[in-house]
Structure 1
Amino acid sequence: MTRVEQAKLKSEYPVVIIGGGQAGLCVSHYLKKANIEHVILEKEPELTHAWRRKRWDNFTLVTPNWQCLLPEHPYMGHQPDGFMKKNEIVEYLDQFIEKLNPPAILGVAVQHVEKVADQSFVIETDRGTTTAKQLVVAAGGYHTPIYPKLSSALPENVTVIHSEQYFNAEQLPAGNVLVVGSGQSGAQIAEDLHLAGKKVYLSTGDAPRCARFYRGKDVVKWLFEMGYYETTVKDHRYSEEVRNSTNHYVTGRDGGRDIDLRQFALEGMQLLGRFQDYKDGQLVFRPDLMQNLDMADATYNRINAGIDAYLAENGIETDEPASVYEPVWTAQAEITEIDLVAENITSIIWCIGFRPDYSWIDLDLFETNGYPKHDRGITLDPNVTFIGLPWLHTWGSGRFLDIAKDAEFVAAHIKQQLDMPNSRLSPVIADAVEV
């Protein structure tokens, strides 16, 4: 890991960035270029902590390496169309950190933020208090793991973990495993366990899926050429609701491939509908397995059909003809209850997401669901910005693809705010933010 020469906490800063992941680092990059003094406060003992400690061993990027475009640090390896593994991602980030040499303080937890009469922010940490004129929240949105409410307590001998705690099959006890949730993490963790020889019970949800390759190219490359990654929240057909959408499941493992849950079922994985409850020794599921699979396949085919239309409209020929996915497996009956003991399920992995926790920010900036109200990261208080959230501005936001663009915009806004301290709202966003 790249060593970071830690700064000392001063009594005041023009800008404080809370969070030392790639989002906060990208903002730091542009602030340094603008010669704006700032500091990154990171609660963990290392920068980019989640990539290092909260990914399973066989984790790979889902998007191809050529989309890794951190500022002045594009992917320069030999596999632009490949998918970096966990250790390669960490190495890529370490190289960026070494180039940046950010002003960071590690192992410092921000406990409370409020605004005082002179319009500065008072930031209380476990190492003392500082103030800032501009606050950048780069702490992400995945804070509190979600666990369902159960009618009965699970037996103490059952190992229960969340997706962020899973690393490999060896950490689990002998016996079978239930994975709850079929989004990107759930589907890939189920595959990881399946390939390791575990008997997997997978509780599905409404996550969509897409092909890895189609008509001779990675689907991501087609969608990029079609302009999908430039689609903004405002231009999307679901508008801001898209921020609540579940990502398509697919994998970059072994060079990239589809994740076909029906194929897993043919190979012995037990597929189930959405998890509902645990009661009196019985795991209870909704009778919606086939509905979930059919919906995922419909999205898969719809994306491919969109690519077909794009190729036809632009006269692009490929060696691979158009095709439609046909189900390779269908459930004979919906299973809605299984006995935990009888099925020898000794571990459960919850892959049902996270809730945001910004309770330490004592500012009126949030929706009822806990997410910040913002436009392109700029909140109702123009001196508070957020960075690194999914769909902050485009589909590429929150990913290595567009995080630099988001950070550059935020940094430009901060510079204008600092240059115009008496102006309530920067002209860059005066017409964009609803107040």
Structure 2
Amino acid sequence: MPEQKIEIDTLVVGAGQAGVAASEHLSSLGVPHLVLERNRIAQAWRTGRWDSLVANGPAWHDRFPGLEFDDVGPDDFASKDRVADYFEAYAKKFNAPIRTGVEVKSVVRNAGRPGFTVETSEGVIEANRVVVATGPFQKPVIPPIAPEDGSIHQIHSAAYYNPEQLPEGAVLVVGAGSSGVQIADELQRAGRKVYLSVGPHDRPPRAYRKRDFCWWLGVLGEWDAETVKKGREHVTIAVSGARGGNTIDFRGLAHQGMTLVGLTKSVENGVVSFHSDLCANLAAGDENYLWLLDAADAYIESNGLDLPEEPEARAKYPDPECVTDPILELNLAEAGINTIIWATGYSVDYSWLKVNAFNENGKPKHQRGVSSEPGVYFLGLPWLSRRGSSFIWGVWHDAKHVAGHIATQRTYLSYRDADQRKRDQ
């Protein structure tokens, strides 16, 4: 296609859940805007996840307010493709101005005039404002301890789709957040010998006393918590909606044949070393689990709710041998491990955003998504305004705030003084 130049009030970069939410609120406020997506709407849900993934929250919760899933029960967990279809349908519902297959290559503030010049794969766009809705899962991170000699098959969890893609043999999964533990469980059920490296984590019950943990975190005010508790900044959450939803229990996985190890320390000369923190990590996860049960019990009592007691929720598997006598060193060849899956998270890439909106560590400087660079906004990041900010329902509420800020700025900029109004008459 020939290059073209477009002028628009607000440009939204990314058409995942954050971009679709931004577009809805901008549309309702009458803000002219355009959403650019380099792939397809919600593409990461389709190709950046493994085949069997389902949403980690039930359908009544993991959605926007304006549309329910019409083919998924409210307490069921939508498949990844169904979630992607949902966002496409949602965008169509209000005729979102989304252009797919267009990559944003650079955003530069204009000198001596308002707005930004945006270079894209299909030409130049002049925009007064830019909403960065690319989310937190942009660049898969494999830690520097990963061996570089090609002696073993290694992939990031973002590149894992199913057990059949892996070479024969045992698998070491590094990282026990939602992705790592679900992948490890799937591989074990497929007959693989699995070693799971478990670091610090939160481990909520999938449900307790007839209510999903999403409901409990809601009524207890946890989703709306505005600050991260000290020391909990990088703690992952081990939760799953797989097979109808079950509480993650690491000891239970070990009793089914999985071998648990501590946080991975190094990989050298075909030998993996682990920290001696497995027991401590499991204990901290148990503490988090029991805290929620206690908080739920207290809430039920103080509010007089009629919800059945569930004493079995406090039952605990005995510590398996891999916990009582933890492995601190593992020879990959001797263990038959031919694959390492690094479920070690993501980083962001803002190299295309050439504006003064970042601190010395390269992280966005913002207040509830309104950045330190006037006219630049961020959406979809963890803790943007609250704990729930990077989740489907949370990003929708953050987008409402950002869109409102944009609409307010447009009102000020549309002001004309008395002399100008007389000249215009």
Does TM, scored on the shorter chain, surpass 0.5?
yes
1:27 aligns with 2:27: no
Paired residues for 1:118-129 under 5 Å: 118-129=113-124
Q: Could you say which residue in structure 2 is the equivalent of 1:140? A: 135
Counterparts in 2 of 1:369 and 1:65: CA distance versus 1, 3 Å? farther
- Counterparts of 1:157-172 in structure 2, within 5 Å, are 158-172=152-166
Tell me, in whole angstroms, the C-alpha distance in 2 between the residues paired with 1:17 and 1:146. 25
In structure 2, what is the Cα distance between the partners aligned to 1:143 and 1:152? Answer: 23
Residues 294-325 of structure 1, C-alpha deviations (whole Å, 9 max, x = no match): 11111111111111111122222432245534
Partner of 2:240: 251
Q: Is the 8 A contact 1:48 1:93 kept in 2?
A: yes
* Match in the other structure for 2:418: none
Aligned to 2:278: 289
Secondary structure (helix, strand or coil) at the match of 1:342 reads helix
Determine if contact 2:177/2:239 at 8 Å carries over to the other structure: no
Partner SS for 1:368: coil
1:151 positional shift: 7.8
- Structure 2 match to 1:428: none
Aligned to 1:369: 361
Report the counterpart of residue 12 of structure 2 in structure 1: 17
Provide closer, same or farther for how the CA distance between residues 381 and 279 of structure 1 changes in structure 2, counting only shifts above 3 A: same
Look up the equivalent residue of 1:324 and give its one-letter code: R
**Kept after mapping to 2: 8 A contact 1:281/1:341:** yes
After superposition, the Cα gap between the structure-2 partners of 1:99 and 1:279, relative to the gap in structure 1 and judged at 3 Å, is same
Q: What is the letter of the counterpart of residue 137 of structure 1?
A: V
8 Å CA contact retained: 2:369, 2:378? yes
User: Is 1:223–2:233 an aligned residue pair?
Assistant: no
Q: How does 1:176-191 map to 2 (within 5 A)?
A: 176-191=170-185
The letter of the residue matching 1:150 is I
Native 8 Å contact 1:301 1:325 kept in 2 = no
TM-score when scaled to structure 2? 0.91
- The reply on whether 1:418 has 2:398 as its aligned counterpart is no
Structure 1 unaligned residues grouped into runs of 5+: 1-5, 424-435
Query: What residue identity is the alignment partner of 1:211?
Result: P
Unaligned runs of 5+ in 2: 416-425
Distance in 2, Cα, partners of 1:266 & 1:362: 52
Q: Residue 65 of structure 1: SS of its match in structure 2? A: coil
Contact 1:388–1:398 (Cα < 8 Å) also in 2? yes
CA distance in 2, matches of 1:73, 1:13: 28
Q: How does 1:19-418 map to 2 (within 5 A)?
A: 19-44=14-39, 46-77=40-71, 79-117=73-111, 118-150=113-145, 152-156=147-151, 158-233=152-227, 237-238=229-230, 244-322=233-311, 324-330=314-320, 331-418=323-410
For residue 229 of structure 1, report the CA deviation from its aligned partner.
2.1
Please state whether the residue corresponding to 1:40 is helix, strand or coil. strand
Q: CA RMSD in A?
A: 2.1
Q: Paired residue for 2:419?
A: none
Distance 1:152 1:214 in 2: 42
1:160 partner letter: Q
Higher helix share: 2
Secondary structure of 2:203's counterpart equals: coil
TM-score, normalization: structure 1? 0.89
Paired with 1:68 and 1:263, the residues of 2 have a C-alpha distance of 27
SS in 2 for 1:346: strand
Residue identity matched to 2:74: P
- State the alpha-carbon separation in 2 of the partners of residues 75 and 253 from structure 1: 18
Following TM superposition, the consecutive aligned residue runs of length 4 or more in structure 1 with deviations greater than 4 angstroms are none
Change (3 A) 1:24 1:252: same
